[in-house]
Amino acid sequence: MSLAASDPVYERLCAAFPEVPFRYAPGGVPATFVPPDRLVEVCRFLRDTPELAFDYLASVTAVDYLDRFEIVYQVRSLKRRQDAALRIEVDRAAAVAPSVTSVWRAADYQEREIYDLMGIRFAGHPDLRRILLYEEFDGHPLRKDWRLPAEPRDLSERHHS
Per residue in 29-72, pLDDT (tens digit) is 778 999 999 999 999 999 999 999 999 999 999 999 999 999 99
Give SS3 for 66.
Answer: coil
Report the CATH fold assignment for 4-142.
Beta Polymerase; domain 2 (3.30.460)
| Residue ranges for the chain with pLDDT beneath 70 | 1-6, 151-161
Q: Is 61 exposed, middle or buried (0-12, 13-18, 19+ CB in 10 A)?
A: middle
What single DSSP character describes residue 92?
T
The mean predicted confidence, pLDDT, of the chain is 90
H or E element, residue 109: helix 107-118
Q: How confident is the model at residue 97, as a pLDDT?
A: 98
Q: How confident is the model at residue 29, as a pLDDT?
A: 76
pTM of this prediction? Answer: 0.86
